[in-house]
Amino acid sequence: MHTQPLYAIKAELFKALAHPARLQVLEVLAADPDLTAPVARLLEVTGAEPSALSQHLAVLKRVGVVDSARTGNLVDYRLTEPLVAELLVVARAFLLTRLADAATGAQLDAVRQLPPLPGASARGVLEAAEAAFEGVAR
């Protein structure tokens, strides 16, 4: 069985996710009940320049994790697949587990400011990691 092309596609996805601003955009989208947000909100949250945000959104669109809809002058972005939100939940659980033993005060504050992420199957994983993190952090 030749699985190399599948791993190449997966690697492209992870490369697209490998930037803090793109992860922040995805978390904002995942936190919304409709998995959407207007560009103005994404600019506000990321603090990115409009041209930089546009480039990040183009990368995410190219790998198919977001798409956009224009209404007049307004552009909304949305996650194309709820499973992207699940991936973010698992990634956050991993982050919290890794930080639990050696987090700095600034990292603890940053974790507390992260937007809530929905999730179905991964929700229990995240809650367990958050409980472990909070137990160590106090």
Residue boundaries of the structural domains of the chain: 1-80, 82-137
Across the range 35-48, mean pLDDT stands at 95
The pLDDT, as a whole number, for residue 25 is 96
Task: Report d(CA 92, CA 104) in Å as an integer.
Answer: 17
Does residue 36 carry a pLDDT above 80?
Answer: yes
Assigned CATH topology for domain 1-80: Arc Repressor Mutant, subunit A (1.10.10)
The pLDDT, as a whole number, for residue 120 is 44
Does residue 37 carry a pLDDT above 50?
Answer: yes
- Taking alpha carbons only, the member of 98, 120, 124 closest to residue 111 is 98
pLDDT digits (tens, 9 = 90+) for 68-113: 999 999 999 999 988 888 888 888 888 888 877 777 778 777 777 7
The pLDDT, as a whole number, for residue 15 is 96
Phi, psi of 47, deg, nearest 5: 70, 10
Query: Which residues, in sequence order, are CB contacts of 55 under 8 Å at separation 6+?
Result: none
